[in-house]
Amino acid sequence: MTINSFLSELRLYFCNEWINKVPSHAIRNFYYKHFMGFEIGQHSTILMRCSFDCARGLKLGKYAVINARCRIDTRGGVTIGQSVSISSDVIILTADHEKNEEGKYDRELPVVIEDFVWIGTRAMILPGVTIGKGAKIAAGAVVTRDVPPLTLYGGVPAKFIRNEVDQFCENTYTRIYKRLFQ
């Protein structure tokens, strides 16, 4: 193991075992921005006990919230738009072991979550998925394919439930979500 890979693993260990338990948004965001290389928009929040699979690869728009205990695999890149609400215990994966064109079994595919999306508790988003603007994902859903804008998807695997008319899908909707000890 090289010194660079050791330091990288140490940074990730420190992030997932120490920093994510610090009850201060300012301290966590400082670490995430300056040591993990995440891009975090103004007034956005990553609550306590979230874990990440690698440094870099996370872009979080303004007024977005990632609630407690989420697992975000940033290896393939995760882009989260503005005014997005990701509920507790959500898992976002960007890497899997499916065979690719070169015959290798590891691949990384980005996940894109557009503006004004709401993702329910314990949902799972799989590699390569794009969730359209204003879409909602039901609690416990496993999203394996792209979700069109302004729709509600749920189930395992997630399927279309209905179209959504979302009064919050406009540039004026902003919400600052910070709890004192989260």
Residues with catalytic roles: 97
CA distance 149 to 11: 37
Q: Is the dihedral of CA 17, 21, 25, 27 positive or negative?
A: negative
- Could you tell me the two tokens for 166? 């979302």
Q: How far apart are CA 26 and CA 158, in angstroms?
A: 35
HSE toward the beta carbon, residue 1, CA cutoff 13 A:
8
What's the number of CA atoms in the CB half-sphere (13 Å) around residue 24? 7
- Among the listed residues 35, 107, 49, 45, the one whose alpha carbon sits nearest the alpha carbon of residue 76: 107
Q: Return the structure tokens found at 155.
A: 């189930």
